[in-house]
Structure formats: C-alpha cells, structure tokens
C-alpha cells in the first residue's frame, strides 16, 4: 500500500513538474518566437551577477548568467520577482473572499485536468532473478474509465474562476470581461465536446489511456490509427474550440486589453500572476489533449514493446526501458510542437470582433461537429 502511494506521488510530481515547466517555458518561447516572426531581437536585457571571487568560479558563473540573460531566459525569473513584490490590491467595492478565490480556482482546475492524461507507456518492473513481472507502473496519475469526461469537466470549471474575477472586482468593465468569458465558454465548449463524440465512436471508449493504446494499431497495414487520420474534421474543430477556451489571441475577447475590459483589470501582484500562469497551463493542456486524442499520444509510429515493426519488415529490437523513454520523448515532442503551433496562430491572426467570435462558434463549428457525428456514425455502421 505504501509503495503504491509513493509511486502515485512520484508520477504526480513528474506530471506537475512537467506542466509547470512547460508553462514557465512559454514566457520565454512567446517572447522569442514573436521576436523571430517580427524580425526583432526580443528580450535580452534581464540578468544579474553574483559577487564571487574568481577562485570560486565567479567569472565563469557570471559569464553564464550574462549569456542566459542575452537569450532572454532570465526574463521569466524577473517576471516572477516583479509579481511577488507588487502590492496586492483589492478594490474597496470588491468582494475580498471571491476576489482571492477566483485565480486559485482557475489555476487549480487547469492543473488537475492533467491527471487522466498518460505521458508514456506503462513501466513493467521485472524480477531480475526469476524474470517474472513484479509491478506495472502507469505513467498516468489516475486511470479513469471516463477520463475524457473528467478532463472536459475540470477544464470547464476553470471558467468559473474567470467569471468570479470579473463579478467580484466591483468594476463594470471587469464584469463585462467575465460575462464575455461566460458566453464564449457556451459558444465553444459545446462544439468542443460534440467534436469528440466521433473519436469516442472510433475507439469505443472514454478511457484516455485506452484511446492512446488503440491509436498504436495500423490502418491498411501502414497508416497509424491516429485520430487526425480517422477524424480530420473533428481535429480542426477541437483545436479551434480549444484555442478559444484558452482565451488567447485571436479569441482573447474576455481579456480585451486594448479595450481595458479584461476580467483581471482589478488584479495585481501574484493574483494576476496566477491568471497569467493559468493561460499558459491551459495552452499546455490543450496541446497535451490534442496530442493524446489526435496524434497518438506517446505512440511512436511502427514502434512496439519489442522493437520497430515496419510495413516492409521487422526493424531493430529494443529494451523495455528504451521503449518507455521513446514513448515519453514522443509525447513531449508532440506537446512542444503543438505549443509552438498555437503560438504561431497567436502572432499571426488578429483578434476577432465579438460578433465574428459568436458566428464562428454557433454557426460554423457547432453545425460542423454535428455533421461529423452523422458521417462518423454512418461510416461506423457501413464499415462495421
């Protein structure tokens, strides 16, 4: 019992550490990617030095710090220090309890949603003397039968933090931002959820781990059974609706910084930092879900537990540890690539008008997701 608890804590720490590091990495990636796209240098001035004598390596350490500062990496640390030292201001007409609770709700449920996402294949621990299987460690915090519904439910609850932030600030403009978030949630979460029904029909399960395993099969002997090949329309709908759920450009109407109506208008210090962190965590969540449901999760094409099995013949055999490591690397690369893709969209498209936002959600994405269900159902009946 104690061993099982320690294993769960270890996997939870691995997932939490990965999520927070990916979220923190985006503060640097966003600055550098936007600078590259706009032909700028980007952040390169934040750095510090440590007063150490040369015989303790002070010169080398400070040289490394200056190089890291020139790359813009230390800017993320500077942001945290700035937010921690800022005054925590609550408007006199605001609700102190709800004002404090709102950012905690947003970041908590965004992080908890990762518990059902597998980050790699199960680790099989074998007794070196007898060769018998001793234990199987799933690289998944919780393997739920209805894991997909669990993730969608938690991701939806996070929106209440945004609504509470606007309503509890005692500011009319912040309230408008919260109401925008509520209407945007209704407009896009329905399309997002309905688009996944086709995936459920294809894989016959709501278990996210089982979905990833079934994506390891081959279609016609050569094409991986990834969701993007079986459900291309659902993939486009899901990615669009999920991007809207993150409230990032071009769907950042609840923030609306140029109009000064953001739901976090009356937030400062680390409370604002939590909303800032939530945005990045949600981007990681959307990328991880897209990779899991539509791009095979941790699956590597033609890789089996014993080695590579190509359509033209067997490839080199590998150890179980190598198989696990390749699976984790595959999932990580897919998530990083999708984060980069979502940021590419952010710095390419302008913000939609509010009527365009609602038109896209209700009149295009939602009918398209219903059409996808009809086509998928007919194909499932015809093809058996």
The answer, yes or no, to whether residue 11 has pLDDT greater than 80, is yes
Portion of the chain with pLDDT greater than 90, in percent: 48
Q: How many CA within 13 A on the CB side of residue 148?
A: 23
| pLDDT, tens only, 324-362 | 999 999 999 999 999 999 999 988 988 888 889 899 999
* Domain regions of the chain by residue span: 2-29+94-383
The answer, yes or no, to whether residue 131 has pLDDT greater than 80, is no
- Record the pTM: 0.93
The pLDDT score that the predictor gives to residue 354 is 84
Give me the mean pLDDT over the 10-20 stretch.
91
Cα–Cα distance for residue pair 94/178, rounded to 1 Å: 14
C-alpha dist (Å) from residue 282 to 158, 317, 350: 10, 38, 20
Cα–Cα distance for residue pair 128/123, rounded to 1 Å: 15
Other Cβ atoms within 10 Å of 328 Cβ, number: 16
Cα–Cα distance for residue pair 141/9, rounded to 1 Å: 8
Q: Which residue has 């007409």 as its token pair?
A: 93
| pLDDT, tens only, 20-41 | 989 988 988 888 898 989 899 8
The pLDDT score that the predictor gives to residue 247 is 85
| pLDDT, tens only, 255-309 | 776 666 788 888 999 999 999 899 999 999 999 999 999 999 999 999 998 889 8
Spell out the long-range contacts of 7-14 with Cβ–Cβ below 8 A and sequence spacing 24 or more.
7/137, 8/141, 11/137, 11/138, 11/139, 11/140, 11/141, 12/115, 12/141, 14/119, 14/139
Name the pLDDT band for 384 (thresholds 50, 70, 90). low
């Amino acid at each position: 019992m104690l061993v099982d608890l320690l294993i769960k804590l270890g996997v939870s720490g691995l997932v939490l550490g990965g999520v927070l590091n990916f979220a923190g990495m985006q503060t640097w990636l966003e600055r550098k990617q936007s600078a590259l796209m706009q032909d700028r240098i980007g952040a390169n001035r934040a750095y510090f030095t440590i007063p150490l004598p040369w015989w303790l390596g002070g010169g080398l350490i400070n040289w490394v710090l200056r190089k890291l500062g020139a790359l813009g990496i230390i800017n993320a640390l500077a942001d945290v220090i700035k937010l921690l030292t800022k005054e925590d201001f609550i408007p006199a007409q605001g609700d102190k309890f709800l004002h404090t609770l709102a950012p905690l709700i947003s970041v908590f449920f965004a992080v908890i949603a990762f518990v059902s996402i597998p980050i790699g294949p199960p680790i099989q621990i074998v007794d070196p003397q007898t060769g018998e299987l001793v234990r199987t460690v799933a690289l998944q915090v919780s393997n739920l039968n209805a894991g997909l519904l669990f993730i969608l439910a938690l991701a939806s609850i996070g929106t209440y933090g945004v609504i509470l932030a606007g309503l509890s600030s005692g500011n009319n403009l912040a309230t408008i931002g919260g109401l925008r978030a509520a209407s945007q949630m209704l407009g896009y979460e329905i399309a997002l959820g309905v688009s996944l029904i086709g995936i459920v029909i294809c894989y016959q399960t709501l278990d996210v781990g089982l979905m990833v395993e079934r994506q390891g099969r081959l279609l016609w002997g050569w094409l991986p059974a990834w969701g993007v090949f079986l459900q291309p329309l659902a993939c486009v709908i899901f990615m669009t609706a999920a991007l809207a759920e993150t409230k990032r450009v071009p769907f950042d109407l609840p923030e609306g910084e140029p109009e000064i109506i953001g739901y976090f208008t009356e937030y400062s210090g680390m409370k604002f930092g939590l909303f800032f962190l939530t945005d990045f965590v949600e981007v990681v969540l959307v990328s991880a879900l897209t990779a899991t449901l539509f791009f095979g999760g941790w699956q590597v094409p033609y890789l089996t537990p014993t080695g590579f099995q190509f359509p033209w013949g067997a490839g080199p055999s590998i150890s179980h540890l190598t198989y696990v490591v390749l699976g984790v690397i595959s999932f990580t690369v897919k998530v990083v690539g999708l984060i980069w893709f979502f940021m590419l969209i952010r710095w390419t498209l302008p913000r939609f008008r509010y009527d365009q936002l609602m038109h896209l959600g209700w009149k295009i994405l939602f009918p398209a997701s219903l059409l996808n269900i009809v086509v998928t159902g007919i194909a499932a009946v015809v093809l058996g």
